[in-house]
Structures are given as structure tokens and as C-alpha cells.
Amino acid sequence: MKINGNAIKPGNIIEHQNAQWRAIKCMAVKPGKGGAFNQVELKNLKTGSKLNERFRANEVVEKLSIDTRPYQYLFSSDEMLTFMDTETFEQIEISISLIGEQKAFLKDGMEVILEIVDGKPIGIDLPEQVVHEVIETESVVKGQTASSSYKPATLDNGLKIMVPPFIESGEKIILDSRRKLDTGNFTKVSKIIADIKKHTGNKLGKSVRLALKHVVGAYAIVVMCKDEPNKLIAARKSSPLVLGIGKENDFYVASDATPIVEYTKQVVYLNDGDIAILNEEKGLKLYNIDEELTDPYVEELELHLEALEKGGYDHFMLNLRQINER
């Protein structure tokens, strides 16, 4: 199946440079000069190597179909994992490099779904919930409460996560195998930020940076706090986020430049791990996830509001019947 380059999405399997690749991350980019493109991080299904490519709308790629079958995990040997078809009992091996961090969640006898392309396994889909034992965890800090705080813990699979203070070593907990810790539920992320701010006395920006170090998965967020009403914190990872900079320290935040161009042509495209502090009085400060101050790269948009309007049409998109009628 052929698709345009701007239609590539995370999880898609495509043919590129005579090899098969899985799209890991995708971000629509509209630079100040030149046409828009899809910035895609690819992972080679055979070697596990990664590649960053730009695909434009007029580029055509081959999207491969994925079959799925139930398998049971048996054991690992060297750099290979062995699974058994639960219907035919045939065994198959998969390179650990194709599984990545999911390897930590595998247990003997676990049933999984194998993803197969052209008769070859290219990945697995784990059960949503898995049980693991807490091997080591820190003591509760004085002043913390079970309802408002988290502490680091190490699991029997080597993962380090944040757990409530009442969790002790030797206890078993249920985890989301996709490890999208709290990113699918921003209520939990905001609670972690609030807890850190409350118990450390840090300002909002530093509290957000500390909290996001414990978050795994994609996010594009904007945080505000009633205690610091003239400040916004914007951060992204694997999801697009662009800042618009006005003339008098007024700021705009959106997933792309389209809704911003009406108010300003000055924009900053955040990179993965960037955390921006937008202050009505002090302007813009940009940090990375390691709390290092970086210089923002301000671009001048060439988009015009008229180009974004519908040009007399009722909708931005028409179906084939409507096109023929015109």
C-alpha cells in the first residue's frame, strides 16, 4: 500500500532504502523557509539501527501490512528470544534488539501477540498489565504522606520507577507494560509536579523538570500554577509543540504554527526534551531535561493567514463527489 510521506504515523512499517523500517516518532514541521515535512525517526527491523528522515507530502513510500498471532514466551538465549505458537506449537526466535525495553516485562510462559510482516516477526504486543516485585525502595521522607508523595523504587526486572510511599520492598505491584507512566493521564503528572513543588519548595519550572524525568512516553504539555500566575511552562517529547513570541512578552503555544500565524510570525519549535519557561516579565527561557539553559532558535514564519483560509470553499477537504460536482 502506497502512502504519502506526510501520512506516515508511529507504528507504521515502511519500505525505505531497500530495507524495512518501523516509524517510532513522527513530527509535522513547518519551517520558516521551504515546504512542510514529516520528521520521522525510523528503526530498522533487521539491525535495530535508527535513522531520522524527512518526508514531504509529494514523496510516496510503501506501507507494509502487519499480521498478528498469539505466541507464548519460552526463554532467552544470547541475543535471541524464543516464542511458541499457541496453536501450532512451532517455535520462533526474535532478536532482542527488535524488542527493546519490552524485554524487561517478559516472563516465562507469558502470552503475547507477535507482529509479523512478510512471514517474519518484527515485534511483540505485551499484555497491558504485568505484575512485578519491588526489590528495593527508599524510606519515606519526613513530612511526606501516603496520599501526596512518591519515592523511587527498583523492580525485579531492573526498572526504576516512582511509587507511593506506602509501597515497601518485597511487595508486588501491577504495571502498565507500555511504561507510559502517567503520560496517558495528565492528572497524575500534574499531581507529581504539585507534590514536588510542595515538598521541595522549588519554583514551578524546576518542579516540572524534576517530574518529567520520571515520565516515560510521549507528551506535549503546558503547565500553569495559581501561585505563579504570570508564568507558563511548556514541554514536549515525541509530540510537536511550537511557541509563538509576541511583541510585548505575550506568548502563544500550539501543536503547529497554523493557529499562531494570526498573532505573530516569530516562533520557536521545541526539540525533544525541551522545557520552556514563559514569563510575562522576564520573557522566554529554554532548558533541556538535564536543566541546562539553551539558546532558543527563533524562526520567521512565511505562512500567511490568507493561505490558511478556505478560499471560498465550505470546507478544507472535499470528497470525490463534491469535486466532480464542481
The residues spanned by each domain of the chain are: 2-64, 67-125, 129-176, 203-306
CA distance 240 to 269: 8
Which residues are bridge partners to 160 per DSSP? 154
For 129-176, CATH gives 2.40.50.140
Specify the fold of 203-306: Glutamine Phosphoribosylpyrophosphate, subunit 1, domain 1 (3.60.20)
Average pLDDT over residues 314-322: 53
- Give the mean pLDDT of the chain: 81
CA distance 39 to 36: 10
Q: Which of 134, 130, 87 is closest to 107 using CA atoms?
A: 130
Give tens-digit pLDDT for 116-153. Answer: 888 888 888 888 788 889 998 876 554 444 444 567 78
β-pairing, 151-155 vs 160-163, is antiparallel
Predicted pLDDT of residue 83: 94
Under 8 Å between Cβ of 60 and 76? no
Name the phi and psi angles at 314, rounded to 5: -75, -30
pLDDT at 218 over 80: no
pLDDT at 206 over 90: no
Q: In this prediction, what percent of the chain has a pLDDT beyond 70?
A: 83
Average pLDDT over residues 17-35: 82
Residues with Cβ within 8 Å of residue 37, at least 6 apart in sequence? 5, 6, 28, 29, 31, 54, 55, 56, 57
115 pLDDT tier (thresholds 50, 70, 90): confident
- Top-tier CATH class for 2-64: mainly beta
Q: Do domains 2-64 and 203-306 have the same CATH topology?
A: no
CA contacts within 13 A on the Cβ side of 276? 30
Please state which of the ranges 78-82, 84-88, 179-183 shows the lowest mean pLDDT.
179-183
Crossing angle of helices 204-212/186-200, nearest 10°? 120
Q: Cα dist. 90→85, 86, 108, 232, 313 in Å? A: 5, 8, 17, 56, 57
Superfamily for the 67-125 domain: Nucleic acid-binding proteins (2.40.50.140)
Give tens-digit pLDDT for 151-178. Answer: 778 888 877 777 777 788 999 887 777 5
Q: In this prediction, what percent of the chain has a pLDDT beyond 90?
A: 20
pLDDT at 183 over 50: no
Average pLDDT over residues 27-31: 79
Give tens-digit pLDDT for 237-260. Answer: 878 899 999 887 789 999 888 788
182 pLDDT tier (thresholds 50, 70, 90): very low
CA dihedral 45, 56, 272, 157 (to 10 degrees): -20
90 pLDDT tier (thresholds 50, 70, 90): very high
